[in-house]
Amino acid sequence: MATAKPKEDDKKAVEGEEAPKKSKKMLFIIIGVLVLLIGGGAGYYFLGMKKDDPQSAVEKKVVEAKDPIYVVLDPFTVNLSGGGQYLQMKITLQLEDEKDGVRLKKYLPSIQSRILFLLSSKTAEEITTEEGKTTLKDQLKEVIEKPYVEGATPPKLTDVLFTSFVIQ
């Protein structure tokens, strides 16, 4: 009988050791799964927040914006009214899209004629100030956007840019 007791104690000792080993393994697995879940949730949260960030929305708009279309006109030299002065200037037109560029080039001689008539009607005093140049820009835009042929769609300008402006 004495030998039976140690066998029972051995069984209890072996069972007691297996139970803590199993519970430790299970605890590590649970902790690992929790860490993965928390890490995945945090990653999703921060990456999801980055998409909703207003600054990134502005960056998207900048990237998605169309490139401007520019048409550089030949230099203009005209006698100004009211004296012996003349104006030499270069104009670049900014357009909304390629179709407007095609339309503009199609009617380029008419556009140049309209611009020459407008420029030669100005005096040096009218166009030397910043306000005068702004008014001239608006008038040029209006003259260029008038229809060239009845029923035809004129080009739409985004801006009229002065790249050179000399009065002598």
- Span 74-129, pLDDT tens digits: 999 999 998 789 999 999 999 988 888 888 888 899 899 999 999 999 999 999 99
CA 101 to chain centre: 21
In which domain, by residue range, is 102 found?
Answer: 69-167
User: Considering the entire predicted model, what is its pTM?
Assistant: 0.60
Q: Are residues 54 and 89 in the same domain?
A: no
Q: Are residues 12 and 42 in the same domain?
A: yes
Domain boundary among 14, 37, 64: 64
Task: Report, in this order, helix, strand and coil percent for the chain, each rounded to 5.
Answer: 60, 15, 25
Q: Are residues 37 and 92 in the same domain?
A: no
CB 85 within 8 A of CB 167: yes
Q: What is the pLDDT of residue 113?
A: 93
Task: Tell me how far CA of residue 65 lies from CA of 6, 60, 92, in angstroms.
Answer: 85, 9, 20
CB 88 within 8 A of CB 166: yes
Q: Are residues 51 and 115 in the same domain?
A: no
Domain boundary among 64, 83, 99: 64
Q: Are residues 130 and 76 in the same domain?
A: yes
